């Protein structure tokens, strides 16, 4: 997928991935739709930025004798996710137009 | 490559990039957690490390969102020759960059101060309106004792209209102040983002600037009611003076200046009306 197109979707994916229950780095990468081609290296700056902006909350929990960092959604993060979902209809409208013009 | 080799190689590379110790530890924790999780999922240690991709990608992931200035510094700081060249250039170029940096600094401070000066002048203007309203009362007493009660009523009426307007404007002032403070913070944040990581202010801040009045609904309603009543009383006083003067305010006698410890107070409501 085009890198620029993907960039906007990555934030939304990460917010959605931790929205039902808290999650951790590897699981977020593992659960990602293959089209996103999400790797640990792509995820790391996104997690840090979203946490810094107050959209994600970081907590450390013990797992198998080591500490694992879990991420969950803050109220602001939930607002942001809802805003994105609200935008989907408009995006679909644009996509329908583009597809209609592009296919003859 | 095993986990230990990966983490120590990553540590070395990040140190070279002048990443802070704290950030290095955070990144190493993240990447070792990722390796541990993959191994728990059934991968071998080597495979788990290989699945993370090139070490340079990990380095880039840490350096990706560093502030402009620090990125530039770390780029320069990678080699000793580059540092030497940079120092020589800085010294030689001092004649140009010192005034430039100073000018930019002064400009930044000036913009910041201008925003606050605007806030202060708005409130001063409003306070002077309210003060005018307050002075109306002693002036009425003074005019009455000087034998020009009706003129005093007229002046007090005008003063009350001004003072009421001042009270009425308080919620507007408060809203404007809120917006301006946010503007000054946004500006400070913008200047700061060149030097350090600053959390995004979010769209919420600018929205609340428009939708809230900077104070509780009950409070600003109170100001509107009180201001409205004072203006009403003022207008009534002017009307009384107008009717009693036989619809000719010009015929009312002039009130001599009121002597106060702060100086003489003259009040000419007619000048405001005509």
List pLDDT tens digits, range A43-62.
Answer: 999 999 999 999 999 999 98
Residue with tokens 């003259």: B266
Confidence of residue B76 (pLDDT cuts 50, 70, 90): low
Which of B41, B61, B199 faces A53 most closely, judged by CB atoms? B199
* pLDDT of amino acid A44: 92
What is the per-residue DSSP string for A17-80? HTTSS-EEHHHHHHHS-GGG---HHHHHHHHHHHHHTTSEEEEEEEETTEEEEEEEE-HHHHHH
* pLDDT of amino acid B218: 76
Asked if A40 has any chain B CB less than 8 Å from its own CB, the reply is: yes
Residue with more model confidence, B87 or B123: B123
Asked if B37 has any chain A CB less than 8 Å from its own CB, the reply is: yes
pLDDT digits 0-9 by tens, B186-241: 888 888 877 776 666 544 444 444 445 556 677 888 889 999 999 999 999 999 98
Alpha carbon of B129 to those of B35, B122, B157, B164, B170: distances in Å?
Answer: 69, 11, 13, 8, 11
What are the structure tokens assigned to A97, written together?
A: 């137009």
Question: Cβ contacts (< 8 Å) between B53 and chain A: which residues?
Answer: 39-41
| Nearest Cα to Cα of residue B180 among B107, B115, B108, B112 | B115
pLDDT at B25 over 80: yes
pLDDT at B64 over 80: no
| Secondary structure element (H or E) that encloses residue B137, with its range | helix B94-145
Chain B contacts in chain A segment 43-82 (CB below 8 A): 44-45, 48-49, 52-54, 64, 66-69, 76, 79
Distance from CA of B37 to the nearest CA of A (A): 6
Question: Cβ contacts (< 8 Å) between B36 and chain A: which residues?
Answer: 66
pLDDT at B251 over 90: no
ipTM associated with this complex: 0.88
pLDDT at B271 over 50: yes
Count of C-beta atoms within a 10 Å radius of residue B177: 17
Nearest chain B residue to A77 by CA: give it.
B202
| Mean pLDDT rounded to a whole number for chain A | 91
∠ Cα B137 B142 B145 (to 5°): 130
Contact B33 A41 (CB under 8 A): no
* pLDDT of amino acid B210: 46
Question: Cβ contacts (< 8 Å) between A15 and chain B: which residues?
Answer: none
Asked if B42 has any chain A CB less than 8 Å from its own CB, the reply is: no
- Mean pLDDT is lowest, of A50-64, A73-87, B58-72, for B58-72
pLDDT digits 0-9 by tens, A9-52: 999 999 999 999 999 999 999 999 998 889 999 999 999 999 99
What are the structure tokens assigned to B97, written together?
A: 């960059």
Beta-carbon contacts of B88 under 8 Å, excluding residues fewer than 6 positions away, are: none
Nearest chain A residue to B32 by CA: give it.
A68
* pLDDT of amino acid B211: 45
């Amino acid at each position: 997928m085009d890198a620029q197109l993907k960039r906007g979707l990555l934030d939304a994916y990460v917010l959605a991935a931790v929205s039902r229950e808290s999650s951790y780095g590897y699981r977020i990468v593992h659960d990602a739709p293959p089209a996103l081609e999400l790797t640990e290296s792509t995820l790391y700056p996104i997690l840090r930025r979203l946490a810094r902006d107050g959209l994600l909350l970081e907590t450390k929990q013990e797992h198998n004798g080591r500490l694992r960092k879990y991420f969950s959604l803050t109220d602001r993060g939930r607002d942001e996710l809802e805003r994105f979902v609200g935008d989907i209809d408009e995006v679909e409208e644009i996509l329908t137009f583009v597809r209609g013009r592009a296919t003859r | 490559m095993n986990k230990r080799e990966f983490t120590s190689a990553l540590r070395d590379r990040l140190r070279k990039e002048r990443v802070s110790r704290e950030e290095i530890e955070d990144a190493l924790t993240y990447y070792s957690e990722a390796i541990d999780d993959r191994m728990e999922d059934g991968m071998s240690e080597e495979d788990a490390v290989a699945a993370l991709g090139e070490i340079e990608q990990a380095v880039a992931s840490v350096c990706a969102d560093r502030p402009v200035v620090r990125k530039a510094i770390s780029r320069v700081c990678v080699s000793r020759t580059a540092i030497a060249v940079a120092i020589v250039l800085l010294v030689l170029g001092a004649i140009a960059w010192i005034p430039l940096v100073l000018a930019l600094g002064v400009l930044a401070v000036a913009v910041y101060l201008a925003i606050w000066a605007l806030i202060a002048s708005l409130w001063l203007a409003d306070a002077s309106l309210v003060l005018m309203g307050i002075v109306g009362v002693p002036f009425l007493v003074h005019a009455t004792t000087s034998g020009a009660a009706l003129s005093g009523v007229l002046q007090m009426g005008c003063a009350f209209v001004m003072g009421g307007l001042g009270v009425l404007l308080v919620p507007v002032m408060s809203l404007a102040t809120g917006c301006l403070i946010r503007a000054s913070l946004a500006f400070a944040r913008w200047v700061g983002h060149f030097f350090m990581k600053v959390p995004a202010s979010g769209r919420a801040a600018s929205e609340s600037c428009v939708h809230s009045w900077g104070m509780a609904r009950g409070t600003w309603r109170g100001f509107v009611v009180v201001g409205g009543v004072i203006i009403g009383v003022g207008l009534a006083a002017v009307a009384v003076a107008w009717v009693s003067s036989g619809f000719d305010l010009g015929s009312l006698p002039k009130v001599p200046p009121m002597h106060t410890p702060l100086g003489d107070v003259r009040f000419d409501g007619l000048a405001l009306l005509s």
